[in-house]
Amino acid sequence: MKLVIATRRSRLALWQAGHVKRALEERHSGLQAELLPMSTRGDEMLHARLDQAGGKGLFVKELENALADGRAQLAVHSMKDVPAELPQGFVIAAILAREDPRDAFVSNLYPDLKAIPAAGVVGTSSLRRAAQIKERHPRLEVRLLRGNVETRVAKLDQGEYHAIILAVAGLVRLGLDGRIRSRLDVEESLPAPGQGALGIECLSGAHEVLALIAPLADPMATACVRAERAVSRALGGSCALPLGAYAEADGARLQLRALVASADGARVLRTSAAGATADPEALGQQAAAQLRAQGAAEILGA
């Protein structure tokens, strides 16, 4: 059997799709998989903030079109880039074992955020990261940073930023973990829902493909990511919202932390909840309700 895997064209996306390709071929004797690299609107719109340009769907729509018209049977995504609600007829068939979900501090000049002098420039494309930096380090200037991982690191090396914040997972997967000066504790920078996890999307009616993909799923990572995405879904689930959510599994229990922030970091609401691994969506909804009780609706409507 032959499978075609839709993927974005960036080196990181190709690594991720290649990782899935190898895992499938190793598990299923005789299976052949090939990559279908594609450009998405999110990759092309490099000078706009994602929340202003259309949100997370910018990175997945073209890949979903390839699934819908039969050019590909599955698509590989970073789960943090997948909208909280999928279009009808599509499903995340498997969430793989998770890489380190934390944010990375990358700088040629300073060991951490505290060391950067007043008015120092920190680059990020994420409203979530920006709000948490502004909350703790209001003296710093947070500036938009778009592009693939290598492009962002190159802009740092060219002196456009004193430091940049990237996902640890992407740097590790590209062999660039040597550039990490420090890994930000989740208390300092709560990750995005699904950060560090890869997801495989396919058509919900593609039963043979679903059966092939199912063995790649990691149960603990799946429960954690489902809880995190449930927070996002319950609160509106868009890039326009500085939202973090991170779950950890301990056997039959999940511990979930979540936050919602104003874009300027002036208001940051935090909560935590614990619940059963078997019902991660309920835990995410509980955390979202706790944030709403703290006044998240005012931030969401701002």
Residues 14 and 34 in one domain: yes
Are 86 and 8 in a shared domain? yes
Residue 226 in domain: yes
Q: Is residue 71 domain-resident?
A: yes
Show which residues are catalytic. Answer: 81
Q: In this structure, are 55 and 91 located in the same domain?
A: yes
Identify whether residues 153 and 244 lie together within a single domain: no
Residue 300's identity, in one-letter code, is L
Side-chain half-sphere exposure of 242, counting CA atoms within 13 A: 27
Give pLDDT, residue 260.
96
Q: What is the pLDDT at residue 238?
A: 62
Distance CA 232, CA 268 (A): 16
Range of 172's domain?
Answer: 103-183
Of the residues 135, 160, 183, the one at which a domain ends: 183
Report the number of distinct structural domains present in the chain. 3
- Indicate whether 153 belongs to any domain: yes
pLDDT at 47: 55
Asked if residue 190 is part of any domain, the answer here is no
- 202 and 68, same domain (yes or no): yes
Q: Could you tell me if 19 and 78 lie in one domain?
A: yes
Same domain, 89 and 153: no
CATH number of the domain where residue 122 is located: 3.40.190.10
In a domain, 188, yes or no: no
Residue 189 lies in a domain: no
Question: What is the per-residue pLDDT across 181-218, written as a single tens digit (0 to 9) for each?
Answer: 999 999 999 999 999 999 999 999 999 999 999 999 99
What pLDDT score does 52 carry? Answer: 47
The string of DSSP letters for 13-74 reads: HHHHHHHHHHHHHHHSTT-EEEEEEE--HHHH-TTS-HHHHT-GGGGTHHHHHHHHTTS-SE
Residues 211 and 67 in one domain: yes
CATH number at residue 269: 3.30.160.40
Per-10-residue mean pLDDT of the chain, 302 residues long, equals: 95 97 97 93 54 60 96 97 94 98 98 97 95 97 94 97 98 97 97 98 97 97 98 80 94 96 94 97 98 90 65
* pLDDT per position as a tens digit, 56-78: 567 799 999 999 999 999 999 99
- The answer to whether 41 touches 6, Cβ cutoff 8 Å, is no
Three-class DSSP category at 250: strand
Q: What is the pLDDT of residue 42?
A: 54
Q: First and final CA of the chain: distance in angstroms? A: 51
One domain for residues 91 and 16: yes
Residue 273 shares a structural domain with residue 237: yes
Q: Are residues 202 and 92 in the same domain?
A: yes
The pTM of the whole model exceeds 0.85: yes
Asked, for residue 16, whether it belongs to a domain, the answer is: yes
Q: Return the SS3 of 225.
A: helix
36 and 26 in one domain? yes
Q: Is residue 191 part of a domain?
A: no
Give the C-alpha separation, 302 to 300, whole Å. 6
